[in-house]
Amino acid sequence: MTFTHLDAERRPAMVDVSGKTPTKRTATAEARVRFPPAVAAALRDSGLRSPKGPVFDTAIVAGVMGAKRTHELIPFCHPLGLENCRIAIELEGDTAVIRCTATVHHKTGVEMEALTGAGIAALTVYDMCKALSHDIVIGEMRLLAKEGGKSSYALEEAP
């Protein structure tokens, strides 16, 4: 097995992308936040507001901010100037489904940015709702699709 983030001396190292050609790269990730039924009902009844304010609107802003700062959080992620980052959140039953799509023209992909955006948005939903209950579960964070670069990927049930 070859480890991409180790140098010749087997020490941690960033992957050298200097010889790659920039291409358009897009990735979509998803995170899910499951609420107790009473909390989901309270969110619906309040227009998706908690005692802290507008839950999903705040999470969208936080998720975009997180995606843009991924390289500061994840070792060896290249700093990318995102050209687009969209976060959509829907309340499906007792679960907030968060989808983050990030796009860039660069030499490396944006999977980690999409995952970070979805994850930070999920954490923000938890923070905005913890006054209603601490029995909130963040789970099922996954990559749904990626395009560009050497390979593409899509889950069969991806949007």
Say if residue 62's pLDDT is above 80: yes
pLDDT tens digits for range 93-147: 999 999 999 999 998 889 999 999 999 999 999 999 999 999 999 999 999 999 9
The owner of tokens 């490396």 is 108
For the segment 49-65, the average pLDDT, to the nearest whole number, is 96
> Which two tokens mark 102?
């990030």
pLDDT tens sequence across 4-45: 777 778 787 777 777 778 889 999 999 999 999 999 999 999
* Conformation bin of residue 76: beta by default, left when phi > 0, alpha when psi is -120 to 50: left
Q: Match domain 23-146 to its CATH number in 3.40.462.20, 3.40.1280.10, 3.30.70.640, 3.30.930.10.
A: 3.30.70.640
Burial class (CB in 10 A: 0-12, 13-18, 19+), 13: middle
Q: How far is CA 115 from the centre of its chain?
A: 3
Identify which of 28, 37, 22, 106 has the alpha carbon closest to the alpha carbon of residue 71.
106
pLDDT exceeds cutoff 60 at 159? no
Question: Is 127 a residue of the active site?
Answer: yes
159 or 151, higher pLDDT: 151
Question: Among the options 7, 57, 127, 135, which is catalytic?
Answer: 127
Domain boundaries, the chain: 23-146
pLDDT confidence of residue 158:
52
Residue 157 pLDDT class (50, 70, 90 cuts): low
pTM beyond 0.85, yes or no? yes
Provide the pLDDT for residue 109. Answer: 83
